[in-house]
Amino acid sequence: MRSAVTGSADPVGAAPDESVEPRDLSRSTARTELMRAEVRRVAVEVFANSVSDTIGLQDVADRMGISRTALYRYFPNRDALFSEIIAEHSERAAKIISEGIQDVSPEVRLHDLVRRLAKFAIEYSQTTRMLDTIWLVLPDNAREIVRDLNRSFFASLRAMIAAGIDAGGFRDIDPGVAAQSIASMTRSAATWFDEHGRLSAEEVADQMATMTVAGLLAPSAATSAALGEAQQAAIAVRAELDRLERILGQSTPTDGE
């Protein structure tokens, strides 16, 4: 039998649409993945800006302008959507740890890591904020993903700081406290960074990294002396202020005078 389009003969016994089915399937799969990605994007916007645990798929569907039934084609429930968002975010975050520069001093490694952490928090600010908002209602598997990532992250960061202390480059502090402080500082950029502000995300991240390393560097003898003098001066000023407050308090007239 001849094809009406090409004039060529169809293979005997073959289904008429057999040659196009894989291509159609591929296109359908691509459309589905694009739609799932759009659902995740909109969901992050919805959940990042809500503090209510009653927010669910209906709110996402409303934002997208589709029915809840249509949304069920891509995610059966809120937990499944949460889990996929968290898994995707965690995969990106894990790369920051694994792709850090090597064979350099702890100071340089830490500067690079903090800079990239700050940029990550800014670039994915809504997902970062969403984690804080929905933590209490996350399904167990999503919480475990976050816990695993945190364990890996803090272990790497503590080890990096400890190496700097052992090498004499960082001051003698608790690496765990330093790691928690760094994590809190970089995550906070997701809340306060203004994309229309004076500084770009790159500039903000670089300054945060520079301040972090400067705060951890072991002080030189000259720096220690200056710091000691400043501390003594601050103590003296506070003592004088306390003395003046006592004098003023004693000389304040009473209501009856």
Do the Cβ atoms of 130 and 190 come closer than 8 Å? no
CA distance 41 to 244: 59
CA distance 68 to 110: 46
**Per-residue pLDDT of the chain in tens (257 residues, 90 and over written 9):** 433 333 334 344 444 444 446 565 577 788 888 999 999 999 998 888 775 667 788 999 999 999 999 999 999 998 899 889 988 888 888 888 787 777 788 888 899 999 999 999 999 999 988 888 788 778 888 888 888 888 888 998 999 999 999 998 899 999 999 999 999 999 999 999 999 999 999 999 999 999 999 899 887 755 666 556 666 777 777 777 778 878 877 655 554 44
CA distance 13 to 206: 67
CA distance 11 to 43: 48
Residue 255 contacts by C-beta under 8 Å, 6 or more apart in sequence?
none
Backbone torsions φ then ψ of 5, nearest 5 degrees? -95, -50
CA distance 195 to 178: 28
* Residue closest to 122 by CA, chosen among 42, 207, 194: 194
Q: Is the dihedral of CA 217, 218, 223, 224 positive or negative?
A: positive
Q: What are the extents of the domains in the chain?
A: 23-218
* H helix count then E strand count, the chain: 10, 0
pTM of the model: 0.71
CA distance 113 to 94: 12
CA distance 168 to 178: 16
Q: Which CATH superfamily is domain 23-218 in?
A: Tetracycline Repressor, domain 2 (1.10.357.10)
CA distance 116 to 186: 9
Backbone torsions φ then ψ of 71, nearest 5 degrees? -65, -30
